[in-house]
Amino acid sequence: MGRDEEKRAELKAKEKRMDPLRVASLFSGIGGMELGFESEGFITTIQCEIDKFCLSILEKNWAKVPKKYDIKELSNAEIPFSEVWAAGFPCQDVSLARMGKRAGLKGTRSGLFFEFVRLVKEGRPRIIFLENVHGLLNSHKGRDFEIVIRTLAELGYSVGWRVLNSKNFGVPQSRRRVYIVGCYRDRRGPGKILFEPKRSERDAEESESNGSATISPFKKVFGNPSEEGPVVQGIAYCLYACSARHTGTDWSRTYVTYPKQGMVRRLTPRECEGIMGFPEGWTMPPDENYKNNDIDSLRYQALGNAVTPPVVAWIAKRIKSYLLS
């Protein structure tokens, strides 16, 4: 290659790095993935979501982004070129919050993972990014997770995964999720993206081995019980979405109390938006046809199924650095 050709190649590579990176969102929910990636400069190219309430939230916040309703009817040709495909595929059939036997990847919801695989098999994006409940790791004694990893590897992806807790990313909620990154034909990529070269605060909690005994974060509170105002836990329990009224789940273990008045109430949807890392009012639908009694339940459920944007933003930043390196 001559000097002129080298310069042209360098210029072309520089121009490519200046182009905005793109992310395609599948199983979009209320857009937690998109918020995280867009905070790092990515552009959302498409959203696919079947839940009508969640779709109304996406329409409100991304009016110009193309929408698809059912991933079963989505073709690879309809997905604009995107360096990253992000998907929080349904967790209901692998979640530990589900009472009784878990259907796993054979379930009608979590089994939609294979629709994602169908699209990846043809599209081969450079990066795939998945999020799910950490119950995926032991669903059917780990066989479901093995299927996920093996299936992606057979498509040519080197895969890495890491369990991260939202409370270590500035979110006042203990929410453990498994994050999976696949890099097409690059075995070193997932490690570069998901792991720091040294152990950090993301990895472990404080332990008693360093001296003083630890106090459960759930016992730390804000507010004074002797005063009129409310008292809230410093860290909320994980917000699940397995019940319309959210009784018998961790939603019902995070209360706002008013000790002096002897009153207790559950968190409001607006408060839940905050402890999930979403902007205030994010889940208020634009459609006035929703009945007031239904809105709260729909908002609770959508938030309980969502991914926390600050965690995604941390990973998106590392994906961006990898793509531009």
- Residue 137 in this model has a pLDDT that exceeds 90: no
Identified catalytic residue from 48, 91, 242, 272: 91
Sorting pLDDT into bands at 50, 70 and 90, what band is 116?
Answer: very high
pLDDT of residue 147: 87
> Both 99 and 162 in a single domain?
yes
Q: Residue 254: which of 241, 262, 264, 244 has the closest Cα? A: 264
- Paired tokens of 291: 């009945």
Supply the pTM of this predicted model.
0.83
- Paired tokens of 296: 């709260």
- 256: enclosing H helix or E strand: strand 255-258
Q: Which tens digit of pLDDT belongs to each residue from 121-136? A: 999 999 999 999 887 8
- Paired tokens of 95: 């979640």
**Calpha distance 246→114 (Å, rounded):** 29
DSSP per position, 208-241: GGGSSPP--GGG-EES-TTSSS-EEESSBPP---
> Both 296 and 312 in a single domain?
no
DSSP state at residue 164 = E
Residue 183 appears among annotated catalytic residues: no
Residues β-bridged to residue 159: 182
pLDDT of residue 40: 98
Tally of CB atoms within 10 A around 150: 10
Q: Helices marked H in 19-90 — which ranges?
A: 32-38, 52-61
Number of domains observed in the structure of the chain = 2
- Paired tokens of 207: 């332990």
Residue 135 lies in a domain: yes
State the average pLDDT over residues 188-206: 76
Residue 7 lies in a domain: no
Residue 143: give its domain's CATH number: 3.40.50.150
**Calpha distance 155→117 (Å, rounded):** 9
pLDDT of residue 17: 56
- Paired tokens of 304: 């309980």
Residues 316 and 310: beta-carbon distance below 8 Å: no
pLDDT, the chain, mean? 82
> Both 145 and 31 in a single domain?
yes
More confident position, 237 or 282: 282
- Residue 83 in this model has a pLDDT that exceeds 90: yes
More confident position, 264 or 98: 264
Residue 211 lies in a domain: no
Question: Which amino acid, residue 289?
Answer: N
Residue 185, CB half-sphere, CA atoms under 13 Å: how many?
2
> Both 87 and 181 in a single domain?
yes
- Paired tokens of 73: 């009817």
Q: Which tens digit of pLDDT belongs to each residue from 40-55? A: 999 999 999 999 999 9
Burial label for 240, CB within 10 Å (0-12, 13-18, 19+), is buried
More confident position, 54 or 209: 54
Residue 210 lies in a domain: no
Sorting pLDDT into bands at 50, 70 and 90, what band is 259?
Answer: confident
- Paired tokens of 133: 């409940």
Q: Residue 263: which of 255, 271, 272 has the closest Cα? A: 255
Distance of CA 43 to the CA centre of its chain: 17
pLDDT of residue 102: 42
**Calpha distance 24→189 (Å, rounded):** 19
Q: Residue 264: which of 273, 252, 276, 272 has the closest Cα? A: 252
Q: Which tens digit of pLDDT belongs to each residue from 270-298? A: 999 999 999 999 999 987 767 666 788 89
pLDDT of residue 202: 55
More confident position, 10 or 152: 152
pLDDT of residue 2: 61
pLDDT of residue 173: 92
Q: Which tens digit of pLDDT belongs to each residue from 180-196? A: 999 999 999 999 999 98
DSSP state at residue 15 = H
pLDDT of residue 187: 95
pLDDT of residue 206: 46
> Both 312 and 300 in a single domain?
no
> Both 190 and 286 in a single domain?
no
Residues 28 and 89: beta-carbon distance below 8 Å: no
> Both 282 and 312 in a single domain?
no
pLDDT of residue 113: 87
173 lies in which domain range? Answer: 19-196+308-324
> Both 226 and 317 in a single domain?
no
Q: Please provide the size of the chain in residues.
A: 325
> Both 33 and 164 in a single domain?
yes
> Both 135 and 40 in a single domain?
yes
- Residue 25 in this model has a pLDDT that exceeds 80: yes
Residue 161 lies in a domain: yes
> Both 79 and 179 in a single domain?
yes
> Both 118 and 187 in a single domain?
yes
